[in-house]
Amino acid sequence: MRRWWTTVGALALALVLQVALAPHIAIANVVPSFMVLVVITLSFVEGPSSGAVAGFVAGLLLDFLSTSPVGAWALVLSATGYTAGMLQENLFAEGWLAPVTVAIIAALLADFFYLLMLTILGVGPAFWESLLAAVLPRAVYNAVLVLLAYPWLARFLRSDQSMKSFRRLA
Amino acid sequence: MRIGQPEPKRGNPRLLVTLIALSLVLVTVYFREGDSGVLHGARRVTLEITAPIAHAGMALTSPFRAAGGLIEGIGVSRERLDALEEQNAELRARLAELEEARQENERLRALVDFAEGRRLAKLGAHVIRRPVSIWEGVIVVDRGSVDGVESGMPVIAAQGLIGQVAEVSPHSATVRLLTDQQSGVAALVQSTRATGVVRGSVTGELSLGFIDREQLPQPGDVVLTSGLGGVYPAGIVVGDVTAVDDRRGELYPRVTVESRVQVDRVEEVFILVGSSIATEGGEIE
């Protein structure tokens, strides 16, 4: 990472927002994840390896915030960060289409694999009910948040400050 | 790779495998260690550190929540007001009857020297954090081990049961809500006395399972804690039956229950910290 302190700052800010703001902007019990937002954006900006490390740290913080087994979010967000970075680098799309597509796929994968992880560990909720009631709505909510915050967050995280739009970021 | 773009950053599969292996080690350690283990301890430290942040979030967003409630209240129709006034009159009449029954009960208990002098001690607490994830129904309150709170203690609100203390740090505690998918409480239907287990779900909906078909409840019936299992005291309101689906193909009927507590709005709760000797006037903490 070229500017590690911006990454640490973004993760710290995401933690604060997750605790202080996210519960209050829930729609129909669907709480957005600022951690996922930061991990996906970091993966876009810094690439798959940095995305995986940021995902691991963000996941660990989420694990300690929750009451579920520690390590579950760390595993899922490491893989999500890596996958988002790889998709971003290899997707044949221009302009805003690439981050939009990757954001939706990554947000969907993160919650789907977390549900799978909980199910494998034997502490998961009803699988199909959760898929419809939790995974899909939250993926949409997170993807919308990524799209809203991505241009500004990416500009903050990138060393190249001239980046201003989706077209130039993609 | 897009033409004209710089060389993309290559992924490092070994790094990913290492992180995944590390995560799996953490999961294994978590399951193998006890409550006093390193990871459980780290979780308590996180709870203690993030409690002030959550408290600040609640304080900063309270004007917006109040404004939202005000806007919702503006839209109350005349019919709704009439219905509430009618219900209020019915409840006043019912209250008078119950007060009469309560006094009679106390007189009779005194006559037969009923050996039940212990009542539950309640500890008031403020909600400082609401659920931070859709995957679990957990709130945080501003009371902890220094206040005598322990894991497993029941938590109630004025309208009924909320849940159970899950983790405790010195100055705060997490409460697993009744609506959480991992929650379960032994309950009974007030009218039929049929016993079952109320369970939460990922959608926050409550269901009453293991109910005998011979004692089917009706929508509107009140569900209370039964006291079986010893975790929750008997007689706390869990919610009201909203739907009963008695399919022949299933072993037990599906009974849907709605909690009377609106968790997204509750701000103060009581933790039942144990039993205390009631004073002569019946006062408890």
- pLDDT of the residue at A79: 95
8-state DSSP, B118:
E
Q: Does A18 touch chain B (CB under 8 A)?
A: yes
Q: Which of A140, A92, A30 is nearest to B135 (CA)?
A: A30
A67 with B27: Cβ contact below 8 A: no
Q: What is the ipTM of this complex?
A: 0.86
Which element (helix H / strand E) includes B83?
helix B78-112
Q: Return the residue in B2, B3, B9, B176 with the most chain A beta carbons within 10 A, the one to mutate for interface testing.
A: B9
B16 contacts on A by Cβ (under 8 Å): 48-49, 52, 78-79, 82
Mean pLDDT split into 10-residue runs, chain B, 285 residues:
52 91 95 89 92 90 79 74 85 84 81 61 91 88 93 90 92 92 90 90 88 87 87 88 84 89 85 61 37
- What Rg value do the Cα atoms of chain A yield, rounded? 15
Shortest distance between the Cα of B148 and any Cα of chain A, in A, equals: 21
Candidate from A46, A64, A137 with C-beta closest to B46: A64
A24 with B2: Cβ contact below 8 A: no
Torsion of CA B138, B140, B145, B146, to 10 degrees: -170
- pLDDT of the residue at B8: 55
Per the DSSP assignment, residues forming a β-bridge with A128 are none
Shortest distance between the Cα of A124 and any Cα of chain B, in A, equals: 8
- Token digits for B84? 């509430």
Q: Does A28 touch chain B (CB under 8 A)?
A: no
CB pairs under 8 A between A and B: 167
8-state DSSP, A27:
B
Torsion of CA B62, B141, B27, A55, to 10 degrees: 20
A129 contacts on B by Cβ (under 8 Å): 201-203
B65 contacts on A by Cβ (under 8 Å): 24
Candidate from B43, B133, B201 with C-beta closest to A125: B201
**Which pTM does this prediction carry?**
0.80
Q: Does A70 touch chain B (CB under 8 A)?
A: yes
- pLDDT of the residue at A1: 47
Is-contact B156 B272, C-beta < 8 A?
yes
Burial B189-208 (b: 16+ CB within 10 A, else e): bbeeebbbbbbbbbbbbbbb
- Choice between A151 and A129, residue whose per-residue pLDDT is larger: A129
- Main-chain phi, psi angles of A108, to 5 degrees: -65, -45
Q: Which of B124, B186, B190 is nearest to B157 (CA)?
A: B124
- pLDDT of the residue at A162: 46
Confidence of residue A4 (pLDDT cuts 50, 70, 90): confident
- pLDDT of the residue at A93: 57
- pLDDT of the residue at B257: 94
d(CA A45, CA A59): 19
Burial A82-96 (b: 16+ CB within 10 A, else e): bbbbbbbbebeeeeb
Q: Does A22 touch chain B (CB under 8 A)?
A: yes
- Token digits for A93? 């799309």
Residues 147-206 on B with a CB inside 8 Å of A are: 166-167, 174, 176, 181-182, 201-204
Q: Does A95 touch chain B (CB under 8 A)?
A: no
Shortest distance between the Cα of B218 and any Cα of chain A, in A, equals: 25
A118 with B135: Cβ contact below 8 A: yes
Shortest distance between the Cα of A8 and any Cα of chain B, in A, equals: 17
Is-contact B195 B224, C-beta < 8 A?
no
Sign of CA dihedral B25, B27, B28, B29: positive
Which residue ranges form the domains of chain A, and what is each CATH number?
A: 4-159 (1.10.1760.20)
pLDDT digits (tens, 9 = 90+) for A85-119: 888 777 665 666 777 778 888 888 899 999 999 99
Is-contact A28 B264, C-beta < 8 A?
no
Q: Does B25 touch chain A (CB under 8 A)?
A: yes
